[in-house]
Chains A and B, each alone.
Chain A
Amino acid sequence: MHIAEGFLPPAHAIAWSVASAPFIVQGVRSLSREVREHPESTLLLGASGAFTFVLSALKIPSVTGSCSHPTGTGLGAILFRPPVMAVLGTITLLFQALLLAHGGLTTLGANAFSMAIVGPWAGYAVYRLLKRYDVPLMVSVFFAAFVADLSTYCVTSVQLALAFPDPSSGFLGALGKFGSIFAFTQVPLAVSEGLLTVLVMRLLVQSSKGELTRLGVLVKKTATGARGKTETEAKA
């Protein structure tokens, strides 16, 4: 869930923007270097941004019968890496604020911190950790998307609890309140997003090996078998 426009007090809005700034600056530098070295990357990165925007507009069924949309941070982090996702995620959040009235401009820093920074980094860390232990690709993808989604909502709970501490039990009480509301809705949604991401990745492995190899998700490996054919395998 995006924190709505004006929801955070000015000091909190500024503090979260300051906290997000180093990650976004790092992402901007990484993106600028990539574009300088490979001008054609502008189009691929733009396509990646559009994909992230469209992914966040997909409706996924939730257990309560209602619908929600995936954050897309887990899949984005696996495909495009967290530094680039910090920039693409922030652009997506800006578009959502201005084109869909989701989130806001004063809360852009806070939303970017949860959805474009913590979510992708947490998901990517889990993905890399599982890959290191040779866990199958799809299992790694599921847990990356699950953790990215859940960590996004945990950070949002912390942001809201810091801004609106409970009158009697303070920050921890407020964290319990916001956390329990999110847990009720978001744990099933995180599972749903994990499953959806696995299904999307399975289709991508079948249909877009070239792009996945270019993005480094799959590595090209020449088998030394009798036929000497080239096969593509999940990156270890």
Chain B
Amino acid sequence: MLPIDAAAHSSRWRRRHPVDKAVLGLGLTVLAISLPPWPGAALVLVAALVTLLGPAGVAPRKLWRAYRVPLGFCVTGALPLLFQLGGPEGFLTLAEGGPERAGGLLLRTSAASLGVLLFAFTTPLSDLLPRLVRAGVPAPVVDVALVTYRMSFLLLDSMSRIRQAQAARLGHTTRAAAWRSLAGLGATAFVRAFDRAARLQTGLAGRGYDGTLRVLVPDVPVSRRFVAASGTFLAALAALTLVLERLLP
């Protein structure tokens, strides 16, 4: 199981309805990209971080491991904004206002990523996917997504074991061997995926499979109190941003 999903399964908010957590987490993301980066996104970043480490109970180490990936992309993506091409001063020069634009973008992406991470760290996909049918996603697409989700972990586990076996047989010692091993890994993933699908089909056919994959979804109601509190929290953040925007330089 992947670290974020594993953490979501043991999250303090695991038993909450996904809508509760979507309003808060994805609401923070929407605020991060809608409000001015300073002070709006900065406030959202702090609010998301406090919520993740506080009420949601996400371990700081796990959060950092997941967060450093989008953070790296954000930094790399913001760097080109520091420079400009052409102009009277030369072909490649520092852009006027570049640091502000890059800083603003970094704040916005960092805050927005934390909002999504708040949702991801508290909501296992197995809780979310079956409920997408009620949100209007066609049932066949949800079924395919469910099979994809469940089969992905099995395949990733198989790939990990095959990679270990390849390494034990000196399959990664030279560049040519590494390429051969990698190609073998890709081809084996394909063969395993289709083999599992065939065996799953046989097993389901024996249980009267009619094309619908029924899974048990925990019967948890949407908490109006939680949703209202999240809405108030988001509104307060937006209001505070508008006030601070006038007061701060």
Interface locus among B52-60, B113-121, B221-229, B232-240:
B113-121
A105 touches B156 (CB 8 A): no
Q: In the complex, which residues of chain B have a beta carbon less than 8 angstroms from the beta carbon of A47?
A: 147-148, 151, 193-194, 196-197
- Neighbour of A6 across the interface among B109, B180, B211, CB < 8 A: B109
Shortest Cβ distance from residue A50 to the other chain B in the assembled complex, whole angstroms: 4
Which residues of A pack against B, CB within 8 Å? 1-10, 13, 28, 31-32, 35-36, 39-40, 42-51, 53-55, 57-58, 60-61, 75, 87-88, 91-92, 94-95, 97-102, 104-106, 160, 164, 166-169, 173-174, 176-178, 181, 195-196, 199-200, 202-204, 207-208, 211
**A45 with B147: in contact, given A6-B109, A167-B84, A200-B190 (CB under 8 Å)?**
yes
Q: In the complex, which residues of chain A have a beta carbon less than 8 angstroms from the beta carbon of B113?
A: 4-6, 101, 104
Q: In the complex, which residues of chain A have a beta carbon less than 8 angstroms from the beta carbon of B198?
A: 43
A54 touches B196 (CB 8 A): no
Q: In the complex, which residues of chain B have a beta carbon less than 8 angstroms from the beta carbon of A49?
A: 144-145, 147-148, 151-152
Shortest Cβ distance from residue B212 to the other chain A in the assembled complex, whole angstroms: 8
**A39 with B210: in contact, given A101-B116, A104-B112 (CB under 8 Å)?**
yes
Tell me if B43 counts as interface (CB < 8 A to partner A). no
Selected A-B contacts with CB under 8 Å, 16 pairs = A3-B77, A5-B109, A6-B29, A44-B197, A47-B147, A60-B182, A91-B141, A91-B148, A104-B112, A174-B85, A177-B80, A196-B183, A196-B186, A199-B186, A207-B187, A207-B191
Q: In the complex, which residues of chain B have a beta carbon less than 8 angstroms from the beta carbon of A7?
A: 73-74, 77, 105, 108-109
Chain B 70-98: CB-based contact to A (< 8 A → 1; otherwise 0)? 10011001001101111100000001111
- Chain B minimum-CB-distance residue to A84: B144
- Chain B minimum-CB-distance residue to A87: B141
B84 touches A4 (CB 8 A): no
Tell me if B184 counts as interface (CB < 8 A to partner A). yes
A-B interface pairs (CB < 8 A), number: 248
A-B pairs with lowest CB-CB distance, top 8:
A46-B147, A6-B112, A39-B211, A199-B183, A49-B148, A203-B187, A47-B197, A50-B151
The distance in angstroms between the C-alpha atoms of A203 and B156, with both chains bound, is 19
Q: In the complex, which residues of chain B have a beta carbon less than 8 angstroms from the beta carbon of A35?
A: 140, 143-144, 211
A204 touches B116 (CB 8 A): no
Q: In the complex, which residues of chain A have a beta carbon less than 8 angstroms from the beta carbon of B23?
A: none
A199 touches B179 (CB 8 A): yes
Given contacts A31-B141, A98-B125, 15 further A-B contacts (CB under 8 A): A3-B77, A5-B113, A6-B110, A39-B210, A42-B144, A45-B147, A51-B193, A61-B178, A97-B116, A98-B4, A101-B67, A168-B84, A169-B85, A203-B186, A211-B191
A91 touches B145 (CB 8 A): yes
The distance in angstroms between the C-alpha atoms of A2 and B73, with both chains bound, is 8
Q: In the complex, which residues of chain B have a beta carbon less than 8 angstroms from the beta carbon of A208?
A: 187, 190-191, 194
Q: In the complex, which residues of chain A have a beta carbon less than 8 angstroms from the beta carbon of B2?
A: 99-100
Shortest Cβ distance from residue A89 to the other chain B in the assembled complex, whole angstroms: 11
A54 touches B159 (CB 8 A): yes
Tell me if B42 counts as interface (CB < 8 A to partner A). no
Tell me if B10 counts as interface (CB < 8 A to partner A). no
Shortest Cβ distance from residue A106 to the other chain B in the assembled complex, whole angstroms: 6
Q: In the complex, which residues of chain B have a beta carbon less than 8 angstroms from the beta carbon of A55?
A: 186, 189
The distance in angstroms between the C-alpha atoms of A87 and B139, with both chains bound, is 13
Tell me if B61 counts as interface (CB < 8 A to partner A). no
The distance in angstroms between the C-alpha atoms of A177 and B86, with both chains bound, is 11
The distance in angstroms between the C-alpha atoms of A234 and B69, with both chains bound, is 41
